[in-house]
Structures are given as C-alpha cells and as structure tokens.
A and B are shown apart, each in its own frame.
Chain A
C-alpha cells in the first residue's frame, strides 16, 4: 500500500495517475493498445484523498475507470502497464486488461467492469473483517451511475443493518456515460440517500484533495469504531470522454473548460506552495518526473513477452 502521509507524496501520486492515463490515451491514439480504457483524468483527488485515509490491511474495490484507484493504492506501475499492453508480466497475465487490474493479496480487490459490480464484494470484505474481529475497513469506489443500479440499495441496506466497516465512495463525475446526473436523478445531492438507510452521508468537493481526505478520514473512523458505513459523495468531473469511443456529444467544450479551471492537481500544487511545502514552480519538475516514471514503466513493460496462447485455458478454476 502506498505511503501517503507526506503531502508532497499526495501531489506526486495525483500526477502519476494523470500521467498514466494520458500515456494510455496516447498509446490508444497511436494504435499500440487495443480494446478500450476509461480515463480517470480530473478525478485524481478522490482516489488519492480517500487512500490517504487508509491504513495497511484495509482493502478497496475499484471500478471500470480504475487506473486511478490502482495507482493510488500503490500497485506497481510497470505491471499495470504490462497488463494494458497484454503482457504475461501484467497483473492479470494479459487476461484482464484495463478493467480488471487487481492485487487481491495486497488488498486491491479489483477494478470491475460491471457498474456496481464490486459493491457486494466490498461488503463481503467488510463482513470478513467484522467476523474476524479485525478493525480494517473496505472502501468501495463507484460512480454516480451505480447509484441507479439495484445493488446500490441492496448493499447499502445490508451494510447498514449489519454495521459493516465499509465506506461507499460515490465519485459523482456528472455523467453515467452520456447520461448526466441532472437527467438521471430527481434528487440531489446523492449522499442524502444515506439517511434512508440510517447511515452517515456527506457530499464533498471531489476536486479538493483535503476535503476528500477529511471526509474519508471521518468515515473510516466511524467504520473502525463499529458505527457502520458511510455514503461519501465526491463531486468531481472526468475531463476525457467516457471511454476511447466517446465523441463528447452530450456536453459542451465550455463545460469541460470550466471544470478544468478547478483542476485538483493545480489547486493542490498551489496549496502546497502556499504552505511552503513546495517551492515556487517546483510542481512542474515533479510533473516531469511523474511523466518520466510512467514512460519508463511502459518502456520496460513493452520489453516483456506476450503470454503463451495456451495460458488462455488456465486459471478458469482454482
């Protein structure tokens, strides 16, 4: 698990996430990568802010837009890159790709290609902690679209009834693919749903790392102390399209531009300058370092061999 106690580390991690997805975007554009990918660019403060509230032994479940969660959790960049390149050395030996990167042993219980698909899994992990008397927590990341799914109701109710140590982190990035939150919900903020289950709920500015971190820490504290789950809504925005095939027909350039002015990385970098943690303009060299790290990860991964075709038949069953 990544050590995020240092505020500079938080900024660097957000930069790594962005550099990673921008590199992936570039590789798709040039045709090096196949399949599809969903980019986390713009939402970095959510993953990093929540992760900063966790401790060794805690677990997370991700989403189809999952590179950010994995990087924030501290997964190895080269193995992530190798997975996207479909190499044998990738986290899933080339069988999972973008949407299924996982390191179960470390506590990263997997990105998930099904919207809402990991909500039950997170509850199960929380159930195991509770049964075993361990004070770990499970964090379940999901998008605004998952709130529309049936399993949202089922799992929030189960977790509430059994006071499971789980934090439901709703990354409200304004769109479920093309469906805006305005069109998909009759009532906002989404965190108000928490009261219907009798659990804590809070909506925070998901572009502001410290806000996310503060709310997540409170939620984690509740969970560890046996007070049960929290529904934490982080209002954020994805800068890029839903996936590689998105032409952004459902929103305007002006809207995207507007959100970009609240960029979580720039805001946090400015804050660190103000605090004196970072020297003036030092963020630019940090950003260059992050990009170099990502370049290096992909370059190394690219040296790795393709998996043996026969391996496609392996690991269906344990």
Chain B
C-alpha cells in the first residue's frame, strides 16, 4: 500500500502551508525519516520527513505554492507498486488520523471536537480546486494585477495569503498587506508637516528607504515588516476585532513565591525565575479550570476543551513577538519545566525555534515586569481563550487596622478572557486559585 505524504498539521489552527523547497524529486528513493521538503506556515518553517520508505511518486506542489493541510504531496511506493488515483484518495472522508504525519499521537490526544473537524474537512473539499489527476504540479496562483502590485511594493507573493479559491492571490490581498505603492506615497504626505531638514536623505538607511526618489525626503521612512510581524499584525488585529475580550486585574501576593525561589536557588542547578514559578503554578491551576484552557469555535458554536495545558510563553525577539509553547506543561516537574522554558526562549530569540514548538498553545503568559511595567492588558492569542499579563514585582503598603501598614511584595496580573468561552466569575476563581497556589505550594501537588 502506497504511503500518502500529506501537508501535515502541527497545530490545531494550522490550515495551510507553503512549500519552500523540495528536497526530493519524482522517483527519488527515500527512507522513513528522510527530509523530503521544507514548508512554511504563518509561524515558521520546517522540514517534512518521509513517513514511509520507497520511491517518491506523483509529486505535486510547486515551490511557493500554498496548500491546505491534508493535501497529498506525493506517494511513497514500494517497487512495482501502482500509484493510487489521487482524486479517490483525496475525496475519501478524512478523520483525525488522516490529517497529518503525526496522526498517531494526534489521535490519542484528540480534543473533543470531532464534529467540528468533519465540517472543516467538507468545507475544504468544496473549496479546493480539483487537483490534476496526473499529479501535475500547480504554480502559486496570483492575478496579474496582484503580481504587478506585489512587485511594485517589493513584496514576495509567498508572503501573501490569497483569499481566492485554493489560496489564489488577488489585488485586494496585496493591498491589504501594503495599501500604497511607494510611488503613490508622497502625494499623501502633507509637505508642511515634515520639515525637509529633519529627514535628510543621508540619514535614511538605504535598506530602509524603499523609494529613494526625489520625493523621498518628504515621505515617511518605510520599514518592510518581517514575516513574523506581518503575521502578528494580522493575528492580533483579527483577535482584537473578533474576540470579545474582558479583563480581570488582581494583585498577587508573592511573599511565599519569593521565599520558595530563594530556597530553590540554593538547591537547583537551574534556579527558577519568578516567571518560571508563575508558569508552573498557572499550568497546574488551569487543570481545575478547563474553560480557560479551551477554544471557541464560531462555526459549530462549540467549545474545544483541550486535554493538556500547552503553555505559551510570549517572547520579544528582534523579529517581533514569538510564543514558544511548553507542551503538557501541567505534567512537568519544576526540574523539567525550567530548563525547557529557558531553551525555548533562547531558541526563539536566536531564530532556531521549530514550527512544532510554536504551535498548539492553549494558554499564554506574557511578562513585561522585567521591563518596568506595573500592569497591562494583553491581546488574547486566539484561538486560545485567555492570556495572563504579568507586571513587575512591586512593594506596596498594606494598611492594617489602626492605621499601621506593612510592606507587601506583589505582582499585578491581568487576565484577558474570551467572553464567549468564560465569564468573569470563571476568571476570578482562576485568579483566586492561582493566588492560593503561589501561597501554598502544596495545593498544586
């Protein structure tokens, strides 16, 4: 039986991937585990490995082409074996097992969302253009106008997600990413608002100035966004526009937390930071608050309650915000969590993070305390249901009876919650339990 090599899903919100580079060609002999192609998603790029041994046959997909998850990219056949009819195999209803190369583990952990997934599959079948039966490769599709606009703006089409069938890119998709062409820009800047002396052309770094024409001195400086920033922009905008946020702010007393940290620093090779300890406490507390470790599905009006806490850690990098994920964080002992978290953060900053490590999050913590922020409201990392924004460690007076006060050390946290998933009381109870946990660690055991 020929093995189908499909566009894998590595995260539940991953719906499509772009082929970056093929590492094999039609007829290449591969062994299971050999790298076959590099693909890119809106989070990162990664290598897809052969999921069987044999000959690559009926290879499909152009470099630069964006394909939905589950699309058969090739068959891996034993010698003499026939290549199955692609249309038949692709039309067959797919269950959780059929979605990706990590299907085995996926099925064990399948969240309670079988109904929704069937819907999605059907939708995709309707929308996806019929692949050529002979396995002809398809190029990335973009309208000529879109291509011209992208070229004028110096944007690669591969960085644009098309709104047309099969991801076809239209002019509007390009304009969404970059509304104006550089030539058009000067017209829209009121000349009197920018004194020419202030932005002398010499001061503009060449790589930043996309339009060094005569009018450049009057134009705003333009910075081409990294892919991470562009995707971040789209995702945060979508989340902020579509997810009904509400915010619960609470001061967490952290005397016991600090005390614990002090003890552990003496005993452990990898001493935990306050963030590490908060992460551990949060992950374990979430076990008792499934609604905050869930996702809302608009299509089916259902909640997906995730079986594990995959804790996202917001990390500021040079390229923009990244959120590596601690998988099954609720099961991790501290000695495992601390080095793992360190490693993820480090790899995110150095750009060596893998796709898998950036996907599958169910709840995120964002800490700006080390940057002097008292408290802040974070945008939910959809489709997660909540995010915890952590401020700096502060010492505040706590007034006692009789006018006396004592110094208390606190951290102000703000929980942003998707109101479709949980209510204020749910969030308040979670924050209460989190306070209890960092006060009395035995509660987490």
The answer to whether any beta carbons of A and B sit under 8 Å apart in the complex is: no
Residues of chain A having any CB pair with chain B under 8 Å: none
